[in-house]
Every structure is written in structure tokens, then in C-alpha cells.
Structure 1
Amino acid sequence: MTQPDLFSGRPVAADAAEVLEKFRASGGRPFHTYPVREVRELYERGCASNGLSGDALSSVSDFTVDDFQTRVYDPRVSSGPTPVVLFFHGGGWVMGSLSTHDGLCRRLAALTGLPVVAVDYRLAPEHPYPAAIEDSRTALDWLFTPGGVHGLDVTEAVLVGDSAGGQLAAVLAIENAGMADPLPVAAQVLIYPMVDLTMSSPSYARVTEGFPLVAETIAWFADLYLPGAVDRAAPDISPALASLPARLPPAFVITVDNDPLLDEGAGYAAALARAGAEVRYQHLPGYAHGLLTSAGRIGRGAQMVEEIAAFICNSRLESAPA
């Protein structure tokens, strides 16, 4: 059930109204109006306040991989061959960390019964493109390294990411599917993904105020992440504009209504389907970008985590297109 929002004119779901009102009561300033250091601190506090509580797991271990960190959430009581969820956090390549998405990763591990490996890739502007995608590629290779220090015997991976993390997951899925000898990637989950950095879709003009993430925020993120001379239509920047290979893994694409990224996410789901991928697409009217990092306060967010976990559990390589 949604109701019209007097500030923005956009529909807002009843269970999302409290979080939105709290944001506006604190000043209602979108992310791009703060200095980088301050916006990171605000994002950390917001995710801690609104996110899922920390589910208890058998083990949680941190590892250093080259110049970045990973965290392995393992709910199992015994080891053995296993699928693994490889998770990339959102935050516009500028903010976000292992902490901001800790509750979400714990919940995914608890619900699926599978290890979840979170990637704390380097952030811009200190580490601009291609740092984030290079770290993500390294993390995927590291995951499948036999006898790796992570201690996992990985049979296949499901790539999961929200927002900028969805972009990283989408790029890896495309690149891996195009390899002569691809790694066993069973599926991809793209949560309100940022997949077209030309920022040309109509939804940018619809969401310009009243929410933490608006069109100007996306432009700010992109300017911090991408050096001026970079082609923003490049395949590892805008996967929605890439030439999609055959044998892409099944995808679950989620979009929300009050989000500048809505149209590009919906368009990418359609492009995946046209390329022959098995696609589940779900659009959530009345909700805003950041739903899953507010899932401790918004019931629909917690439900979506359960639906994502069910999709992961049902994803196996046998279901990939022939």
C-alpha cells in the first residue's frame, strides 16, 4: 500500500514512511551535499541504525587480499564443498564498507546456509576507476583459488550486489560468461543496480529531491569515481550498454520506484532476457534506493532478503541456458 508524498509527489509505501520522515527531520540533505569523509560516516551510522541485526553464525573471518579486505561469513558447522555467495556492497564506489552491509550479509548466510564472502574494495576518490572493478575481479579469482587461505572448497558462486555493487556483480557476470573457460558462476542478484553511467534514462528526471539518493547524487558519485577522460559507456562501467555474451547466468534484478536508477535497472533486466538469460525481475512501488540497508526498519526490505536467499538456494549451474 502506498500513499502520495506531499514533499516529492512520489508514492511512498506505508512501512517506508518512518525512515523517510527520520531522514527529512535530520535535515533531508542528500548524500552529495556532504564532504566525502562526512558522508561515509553518515552512511555508516544510517546503516547501523536502519539495517538488519547481526545474526549469529558459526564463524566470521576477515582476510587481506592485495590492497583490500574480505570478510567470510560461514553458517556451517562442518566444512566441505559448497556454493558461495560473493557480495559487493553499494555506496557509489565512494562510501560503504564491510560494516555497512554486515547485517545483510549475515542474514543471507543464515537464510541460505551458505558462506557469504563480502568484498571491501577500494573506494574513490582516493582510488578511482578501475580500482573497484579490479579488486572485484581479484576477489572472484581469489575465491576460486584451490587451497586458499579462506578455507572454502568452492563449487560455484552467486554474485550479489546492491547499487554500485550491483554494477560490479553485473560486470563480472558478463566478463566471466565471455571467457573461453569461465568460472562456475551459478547466478547473479542485482539490487537496484547502477548499470548505465551515461545517466540518460528518464527516471533521473523523476527523482530529484526528497530522498537520500537523487539524480545529482549519482552524478557526484560518478565524477568522484571516474577520471574525466574515461569513456562512461565502457563495458566495465556501463554494463547496460555492453554487448552481452551467450550463457549469462540466471539473474534476479530488483528495482525500486523512488530511485533515479529505476529505468536502467528495468532496461538491463530486459537486455539480459533478450540475450538468452533466465531472468526474474521484481519492481517495488513506493520504496526508495537503499531498501535493503534499511531492512531492519522496513518490513518489505527484510522480506526481499528472504526472497533473494530463496533465489540463491534454487540457483544451480544446471539451470543456466544451454
Structure 2
Amino acid sequence: MTGYAPLAADAAAALKPFREAGSHSFHEFTVDEVRPRYIASCEANGLKPADLYRVEDQTVGEFSVRIYQPKQQQSDTVILFMHGGGWVFGNADTHDGLCRALAAGTGHSLVAVDYRLAPEHPYPAAHDDCRAAFAWLSDSDAGHGLSASQVVLAGDSAGGQLAAMLAQENTPARGNLPIAAQVLLYPITDLRMGSESYSRVTQGYPLVADTMRWFVDLYVPEGTDLTAPALSPLLGDVDAQQAPAIVITVGHDPLADEGIAYAQKLAQAGVTVTHHHLAGYAHGLFSSAGVIAQGEHQVEAVCRFIREHTGTPA
């Protein structure tokens, strides 16, 4: 149930209502039950929305995006953000506070991908929507009103997997829109789901090992190769051409070990990596950054990393 370190005080305080209510993890509910619960949790615990110059929703094919433009535009860099939620729940609203904070804290426009969700839209729907969003952003005639000279790929959990997938598939040699940096927040990187942290984090948190198995069963059709790089970036090809990465992992998380392993793989390939491992924290830190001080601190660290790697003044 516990990690290698006890829960930090601010994490324990935020988790107290969940445990007092019976510690029911996401997979113990139906999809129709868990979606509004997650929305309510993010609304109650997320960052308060920063005031921006422009926030606008647009439809792109079969999905939508939300465009955030800060009041003080610093450059033509655009952050492409993919939300977490196990490909099953989450949307532009659940991560609105985080996206606003990233736009305001970096001076860059941000595009949040509101991709289609499982089980209504199984794999590869979410992956294909994120690929389409990258292509849409790269097209100056697409009607988004942005002039993107480079992109930062960012995402949490399943969104971290989607960001890592795009980074692997869009290296400079392929002539795509340059990727300046990648932000991987407790990312899914290995759907074999056999690491030690899967046996360690089994109860007492909203996301535990069985929750990840539930997500995979809902999103990935039976018989799909779970070792395919798009699903398991840890097993994909990584080389020094990939953009600098910040990887943030947390100890009380079934995804901890694979996130750490992916940071190591990037570094061993010659990629510049900043890795923060927060042993006393649990999955969901960034969607609870309004009530967990360390979450807000890490958002600020991410903004600094993005500014440093996009040539943006502090």
C-alpha cells in the first residue's frame, strides 16, 4: 500500500477525505460514475484559473482542442498538452487550471487536446487524435490563429504516454515541426505492467495497479500488442535527437518504476533529462496542485524548464 517513503504531510492531508470515504479506487466504479467524480475532484483540488488573453475551443476532425493564449506572449513556441485519465476520463475542463498555469508561467500559447475517450473510442483513437492535433498545429493555414515555430509536448499519466509517443514519432530527421522540449508527468511508458511498483501500490489511492489494468482493458482491444512503442514508449526507439525532457515521478504510484526507467533510457541515449522523483507523493499530484503545495511548486519548476529550453526570458 505504501511506497518507499511515507506520504508527505501535504499529500496526506489531501488524501484524507478519500480514505475516510473508504479508499475506493477509480476501477471500483462504472465509467459513467467515475467521469463526474473525476471532474468534481479536479474542480475542487486543481489550480485556480489564471487570467489569460484568449481561451477558445475549436473542433478538429472528430475531437476538439482548447487554445490558451497568455497576456504576455513571449514567442512563437506552442505547448501541445495531452491530459491524463487513463484514456477513459478527463477533458479540457479537468486540466484547465494546469493548462492556464503553464501558459501564464511560460508566456507561450498552449493547445490542450480533448481527444476521444474509451470505451466508446478504443485504441488507437486517442493516439490518432493527438497525432492529428500535432499535424493541425503544424499547419499555419489550419485556422488556429497561432504561428508555431516550435512545440513543447506535455502531458500527465496517459497524456505523458501520448506526449512521449509524439516525441518518438516526430524526430528532426522526419522534417516535422521542431520539438523544443517534452514534459512527462508520471507518464505511462510500459503496458506490460510488470514492474515492482505495480506490486507495491495496490490499495489506498485513487490510482492503483488494478486501476491501470482496468484502463487498459477499456482502451486497448484484446489481442493488441502491448509492447508496441505507441503504447509502451519505454520499448520504443530513443536517440539523442529527441528534445530535452523533464520527467516527474512519484513514489506512491504503480507507474513510478516505468517513469524512472524512461528517464534513464532518455539520458542513456544522450537526451538532456531533468528528473524529479517525489518519493512522498502519489499519482494525481498535478490535478491536485491547488491543495498540495508541492504540486504547485512542481508546476513552477516545469515552467522554468520550458522557459530555459525555449529561450524565453524569466
Question: What residue is the counterpart of 2:36 in the other structure?
Answer: 41
Query: After superposition, where does 1:263-274 map in structure 2 within 5 Å?
Result: 263-274=257-268
Q: Is the 8 A contact 1:81 1:153 kept in 2?
A: no
The one-letter code of the counterpart of 2:54 is: S
1:1-322, aligned counterparts within 5 Å?
A: 8=2, 11-76=6-71, 82-177=76-171, 179-316=173-310
Structure 1 residue 275, shift from structure 2 partner: 1.2
Flag as ranges the 4+ runs of structure 1 deviating above 2 A. 7-10
Residues 49-105 of structure 1: per-residue CA shift (max 9 Å, x gap): 000011111110000000001000101367x96101110000000010001000000
Unpaired runs of at least 5, structure 1: 1-6, 318-322
By how many angstroms is 1:181 displaced?
A: 1.4
- Do 1:68 and 1:120's aligned partners in 2 also have CA atoms closer than 8 Å? yes
Q: Report SS of the residue matched to 1:84.
A: strand
Give the distance between the partners of 1:142 and 1:45, measured in 2 at CA.
31
Q: Name the SS for the 1:18 alignment partner.
A: helix
1:238-289 C-alpha deviation (Å, 9 max, x unpaired): 0001122440110000000100000000000000111111111110011000
Partner of 1:4: none
Alignment partners' CA distance in 2, 1:152 and 1:253:
27
Distance in 1, Cα, partners of 2:163 & 2:174: 19
Aligned-partner residue type, residue 171 of structure 1: M
Contact 1:189 1:252 in 2 (8 A): yes
Once the two structures are TM-superposed, the CA of residue 199 in structure 1 deviates from its matched residue by: 0.4
How far apart, CA to CA, are the structure 2 residues paired with 1:178 and 1:59? 30
Deviation at 1:178, TM superposition (A): 6.9
Partner deviation per Cα, 1:274-307 (whole Å, 9 max, x = no partner): 1111111110011000000000000000000000
User: What 5-or-longer segments of structure 2 have no aligned partner?
Assistant: none
Q: Deviations over 1:177-217 (max 9, x none)?
A: 17531321101000000110010111101100101100000
Total equivalences in the alignment: 310
TM-score, normalised to structure 2, is 0.96
Q: Is the 8 A contact 2:115 2:126 kept in 1?
A: yes
Q: CA RMSD in A?
A: 1.5
Residue 8 (structure 1) shift? 4.4
Instruction: Give the deviation of 1:45 after TM superposition.
Output: 0.4
Q: Percent identity?
A: 54
Q: What is the DSSP-based 3-state SS (H/G/I as helix, E as strand, rest coil) of the residue aligned with 2:174? A: coil
